[in-house]
Amino acid sequence: MTSFSRAWRLPSVKLSLGILAAVLLVAVFGGWLAPYDPIAQNPRLRLLGPSGEHLLGTDYLGRDVLSRLLAGAGLSIAGAVEAVAVGLILGAVPGLASIFFGRGFEWATARVADALLTLPFVIFAIAVAGIVGNGLHQAMAAIGLLLAPVFYRVTRTAALSFTRAQYVEAAELLGASRARILRTHIAGKVLPTIAVTAAGASAAALLVVSSLSFLGIGVEPPAPTWGGMLASDLGYLHQRPLAPLAPALVIMITVGALNALADAVRDTTGLHTESEELHVR
């Protein structure tokens, strides 16, 4: 039985995958599943509690909370995926290249990665938004840049263990180029490690996306996001004290499922990752 087969047999992995599959479906089809227009305002229905017509009640502008929760999944998840994709490209590619392209390249990329690791996610994203404009893509590019060092270090560490393998040495003796060795003999070997790291990075990215939308950065109102809904609900706790519970729960459950999946696969496969170092700074 392979390591991934053992991971699949774990109840936590099955539960996490089920949750993530449901979240993905909502992210893709949430706009169609929403029973009401998520941005339609009706002041006469403002701050209503749960009912048969509005299962999760309405917000301070009379908008259906369930509809906004479903429609907001797309932007929240898309932002996290975009940030992870940027971090993976900017981190994994130099991490692989640093193995074969000389000490100078290795030293330069390692110093850049160390410098980026010292920067706080949210403050850096706010600074970038202030310089280049308040947009989702700008904010996610900034977050992806700070995720890149994690992918760099994980990819480099995983790839180092294969550089002295006999098949790699044989390929070098036969005259294979460094690029070909990386592409055919090493890149595929480190993909499982990168995938586990990506799961942990997605959890961190979703937290950062929610934090930024909570502050009004990245996605501007009235477009619904989980973090934006949480921010608006906190202003009306006296009228609806349980209103922030719905967006907070979906964020917690999604992040928990991503972390549980990454931890379970890492523990059963013995993959080396640095996900414990990945946190919202």
Token pair of 168 as six digits:
């790699």
Model pLDDT for residues 12-58, shown as the tens digit of each residue = 888 999 999 999 999 999 989 999 999 999 989 999 989 989 999 99
Coil, strand or helix: which one is 97?
A: helix
Model pLDDT for residues 93-120, shown as the tens digit of each residue = 898 888 877 788 889 999 999 999 888 8
Token pair of 78 as six digits:
């898309």
Model pLDDT for residues 245-258, shown as the tens digit of each residue = 999 999 999 999 99
Q: Is the Cα dihedral 265, 267, 269, 270 positive or negative?
A: positive
Model pLDDT for residues 190-241, shown as the tens digit of each residue = 888 888 899 889 999 999 999 888 888 877 778 899 999 999 888 888 888 8
CA-to-CA distance for 73 and 8, rounded, in angstroms? 26
pLDDT at residue number 275:
47
CA-to-CA distance for 68 and 105, rounded, in angstroms? 47
CA-to-CA distance for 94 and 160, rounded, in angstroms? 13
